[in-house]
Chain A
Amino acid sequence: MSFMGYRREEGRAGTRNYVGLLSTVVCANEVAEGIAARVSGTVPFLHHQGCCQTPVDIARVNSVLTGLGCNPNLASVILVSLGCESTDVAGVAKAIAATGKDVKTIVIQEIGGAGRSVAEGALLAQEMVRQASVQQRTQCPASDIVLGLKCGSSDTTQGIAANPALGVASDLVVRCGGTSVLGEVTEFIGAEHLLVRHARNKEIGDKILALVKRIEDRAKSVGCDMRGGQPTGGNIKGGLTTIEEKSLGAIAKAGTAPIEAVYEYGQRPAVRGLVVMDSPGREPEILTGLAAAGCNVIAFTTGRGAPQGFPFVPVIKITGNAVTWGKLQDHIDLDVSELMKGTSSYPVEGQRIYKEILEVASGRMTKAEICGYTRAMDIYMVGPVI
């Protein structure tokens, strides 16, 4: 099995070919957005971090921006900096350039304001898009797929239909030598004993348990029953009663492959196969984490109808809810609701999803890309804003 992708200098394969405009601090977002609005072929990455944070989180901003810049779906990168942020802009630029990519930095305080920065950045971006546009798609083996797994706006159809079907597709990616990344650790709570059985060894199992304890302790530290936050109000309306129920349905999307490694948020897997990455369940943070980890395509199951996509990683939406499919076809790519009726099987629907993953990797646009709903992005922080 193969797909048509963009082979990058350091070996990875992209499924898209954008010039990325990475804002290095919340205060530079408007300029990155301004450039993106003027130059086709560019995408902005915007967020709320990069200043007045503890060193732990500043280090995370640096590593996540580096991971995003190295993502093979970006042909080249412009870092859009204000000039006084805590982010190590030069360090990020150097780390991205090490992959062989063209990296430029513009600094608003040095250029002299937003207007001049947008103008200068736009001229720079135009030239970089011209360079990027000559790259051709070439045949890449399915083992170059790095699949991000996500479920959101969940209801009870997910655990019964869409997630087990995605699990079959994830297993197919792994069997072809690819990588599949499972995040959303909040949605392991109550199901971690099942995931641990999939761990390659005890050390990996213990790491999974430690991640779950860390995120559950953080939720408990505010002194409330977390229900209403997880599962969300919408999950509850969709019939999900407890986090245990949500988690047992959520982990089905990881299939049956052994878990080979456990990573911190946004960290690039050093191994192939199924891996776990720390992250919360909310869309902007998990999608960003998966993109920073190097995912070149994301599969996202949704029962109630989550519209979110990401700026430069295609996000395939899959639902097992026939009512949602009827209402939200401009946001959802695949309907697997026959699984609810018992008129299809997991292997059949899993194959359909796998085929869709390879087609989207080859350039087929997702519904989220077509309708321009691709701005779910932010960096997951662990400490306070100070």
Chain B
Amino acid sequence: MTTPLLEKLQNSRNVLGLVFMLPAAVLLLLFLTYPLGLGVWLGFTDAKVGRPGQWIGLENYIFLAGDSVTQLALFNTLFYTTIASAVKFFLGLWLALLLNKNIRFKSFFRAVILLPYIVPTALSAIAFWWIFDSQFSIISWGLVKMGLIDTYIDFLGDPWNARFSTIAANVWRGVPFVAITLLAGLQTISPSYYEASAIDGATPWQQFYHVTLPLLTPIIAVVMTFSVLFTFTDFQLIYVITRGGPLNATHLMATLSFQRAISGGALGEGAAISIAMVPFLLAAIMFSYFGLQRRAWQQGGDDK
């Protein structure tokens, strides 16, 4: 009789599986799932640091919807994410294509290019703070010496300058990630496609548009989803370089929630700002999901 034996095996699998899952599950339930739920709850309360809150329904959200600083932070976050992600995509793709060519010192280039991504962001952000200094900026110095400008640029004192400066720092940090992951995708494309299309008389641009891009689309979808996710929830760069200033011009949702909840002590309000970010993140994850579906479909697999 094999059925009871199989059943027993299945049972022991379940018991053993539970035991093996236990350490990870306990930690994640306690420090990830529970706080997520707690965050949703806090968003509906007027909790302050050191004082449990009372249920106040949608009051936080109603207040935030009418709060001009929160509106500005939402605008900044969307602006920051859109511009930075787009620039990261184009520069990253360009860099990946360059690295995919038959060049000398390829592995050296590839290794060195990833450096901005692996060092602590908070620390490289300090370097950018110094590079963007209003009095001693090396960029201003260079431009003055070249005769392009007369006075030093106030990189972080003017709202729009500050926005673009922080976007530049974010792009600097994110381009290596996009480039290296896209390079991995490029390397899976067989050279025979390029040879065949070259024999058929395709120009390099046509090769890029009709061979590279379609074959790279699935990985682009995934990489850009991650990139959007990280950019949208960015905290370190802004906190270190501008602290949200000048005049809240660079506050993102994440830095604003920190300011309200931790510096200001209004836990409930800060949690509500965090939770308000979730719909946008879900949109990004859906995008990733459909990107993966398309990948399976392209490889001739069925949608599971």
A binds B: no
B interface with A by C-beta (< 8 Å): none
